[in-house]
């Protein structure tokens, strides 16, 4: 057996998978996460950390362009797949593992990548029309000149103390761990502080899941939200327990079996002094905000997720309601201003920005 084959086999023992959820395919994404646990594989935190790019659901055109750039950032060996139903996951990931271990396939792919990198048109200069550049109206203080990876050069702006500091236009999302599917938060940064933000949502691709409003769907959806928020807050053990409850509800025919574990988890969270202290007061929504979360902070919203799951497991639940994207965008922009990036991610994760049931026939 050659050295390449040995390295190929080693590369597939603990694959790192970058999971990208398209809007309306939460159940497929959760099924992929569960499959990774069973395989002993690891969710990747960034393209540079990934061996496999796994797209959950067919993307719309605006997300497809983003995915092509993300794919270019994955180091070799690499593989890519799209799954639209839970039944497809095992075969798709197994095929990716074979592709990673195939030295001829990887060599061919690397050769194609090198050819693209050396192409005269690879820098997208063909899209720049010198006739469209108005030098007379160019303001260097707010210049937004695209770099090859799509990030603008730094400009300058006044900080909260009136000093002129470098500022950078950086999008958060749509490919980011524990991030709402399809959300892009375009931030103006000074250092790691968000000076201003604007939220927008990518289009929903074909085959989006239909809402199923039953108690099991609510348990799955709320525990999924809670686990992602807990993981961002650094409470990995609690996040893992919440994910196991979610997976049990996904695999079970009833939500009732989740009631005991959820009740115990809620009690454990309420006793967590460090977690409460770190989340209390963060992202507080004004009492006059046109949202059901008015007057709450991240800690309140975390407890609210688990309490909603406990109630649903007991057979008491309220079907989710969808607010306008304009309301969501205005709220996120208001809360993000003046905060560090890590805090902004916590705040975003504390809201149910896609209040749809997460269970469909595809995941049963």
Q: Is residue 36 part of a domain?
A: yes
Q: Is residue 282 part of a domain?
A: yes
pLDDT > 70: what percent of the chain?
Answer: 75
Bridge partners of residue 156, in order along the sequence = 166
Q: Is residue 198 part of a domain?
A: no
Residues 238 and 358 in one domain: yes
Fill in the DSSP letter of residue 261.
H
Q: Is residue 161 part of a domain?
A: no
Residues 225 and 355 in one domain: yes
Contact 157, 195 (CB under 8 A): yes
Q: Is residue 342 part of a domain?
A: yes
Domains contained in the chain, number:
2
Q: Tell me, what's the pLDDT at 321?
A: 62
Residues 239 and 355 in one domain: yes
Question: What's the CA angle centered on 175, arms 304 and 226, to 5 degrees?
Answer: 15
Once rounded to an integer, what is the mean pLDDT over residues 84-111? 89
Contact 23, 184 (CB under 8 A): no
The whole-chain average pLDDT of the chain stands at: 82
Select from 115, 137, 153 the last residue of a domain: 115
pLDDT tens track for 271-286: 999 999 999 999 999 9
pLDDT tens track for 128-172: 344 443 433 333 333 333 444 455 555 555 555 555 667 899 999
- 130 or 297, which is more confident? 297
Q: pTM for the complete prediction? A: 0.81
Once rounded to an integer, what is the mean pLDDT over residues 220-242? 96
Q: Tell me, what's the pLDDT at 147?
A: 45
pLDDT tens track for 341-357: 999 999 999 999 876 44
How far apart CA 298 and CA 345 sit, in angstroms, is: 11
Select from 115, 146, 178 the last residue of a domain: 115
Residues 219 and 111 in one domain: no
Q: Tell me, what's the pLDDT at 46?
A: 94
Contact 116, 68 (CB under 8 A): no
* Residue 31, domain CATH: 3.40.50.12280
Q: Is residue 80 part of a domain?
A: yes
Q: Is residue 202 part of a domain?
A: no
Residues 107 and 222 in one domain: no
Structural domain including 349 reads: 215-363
Which of 68-77, 93-102, 224-233 has the highest mean predicted lDDT (pLDDT)? Answer: 224-233
Contact 358, 24 (CB under 8 A): no
- 206 or 16, which is more confident? 16
Q: Is residue 197 part of a domain?
A: no
Count of beta carbons in the 10 Å neighbourhood of residue 345: 22
Select from 79, 100, 115 the last residue of a domain: 115
């Amino acid at each position: 057996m050659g050295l390449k084959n040995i390295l190929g086999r080693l590369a597939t023992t603990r694959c790192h998978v970058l999971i990208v959820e398209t809007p309306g395919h939460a159940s497929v994404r959760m099924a992929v996460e569960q499959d990774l646990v069973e395989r002993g594989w690891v969710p990747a935190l960034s393209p540079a950390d990934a061996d496999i790019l796994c797209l959950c659901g067919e993307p719309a055109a605006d997300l497809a362009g983003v995915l092509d750039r993300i794919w270019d950032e994955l180091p070799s060996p690499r593989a890519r797949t799209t799954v639209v139903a839970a039944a497809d996951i095992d075969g798709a990931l197994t095929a990716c593992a074979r592709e990673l271990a195939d030295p001829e396939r990887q060599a061919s792919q690397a050769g194609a990548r090198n050819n693209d990198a050396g192409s005269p048109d690879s820098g997208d200069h063909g899209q720049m029309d010198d006739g469209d550049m108005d030098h007379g109206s160019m303001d260097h203080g707010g210049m937004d000149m695209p770099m090859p990876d799509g990030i603008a050069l730094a400009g300058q702006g006044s900080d909260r103390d009136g000093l002129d500091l470098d500022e950078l236009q950086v999008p958060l999302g749509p490919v980011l761990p524990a991030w709402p599917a399809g959300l892009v938060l375009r931030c103006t940064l000074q250092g790691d502080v968000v000076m201003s933000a604007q939220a927008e949502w990518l289009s929903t691709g074909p085959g989006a899941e239909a809402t199923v409003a039953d108690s099991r769907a609510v348990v799955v959806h709320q525990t999924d939200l809670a686990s992602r928020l807990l993981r961002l807050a650094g409470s990995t053990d609690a996040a893992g327990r919440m994910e196991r409850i979610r997976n049990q509800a996904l695999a079970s025919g009833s939500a009732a079996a989740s009631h005991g574990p959820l009740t115990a988890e809620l009690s454990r969270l309420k006793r967590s002094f460090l977690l409460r202290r770190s989340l209390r007061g963060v992202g507080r929504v004004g009492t006059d905000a046109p949202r059901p979360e008015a007057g709450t902070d991240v800690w309140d919203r975390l407890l609210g997720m688990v309490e909603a799951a406990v109630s649903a497991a007991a057979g008491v639940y309220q079907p989710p309601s969808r607010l306008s994207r304009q309301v969501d965008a205005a709220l996120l922009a208001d809360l993000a201003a003046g905060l560090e990036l890590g805090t902004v991610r916590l705040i975003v994760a504390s809201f149910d920005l896609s209040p749809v049931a997460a269970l469909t026939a595809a995941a049963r």
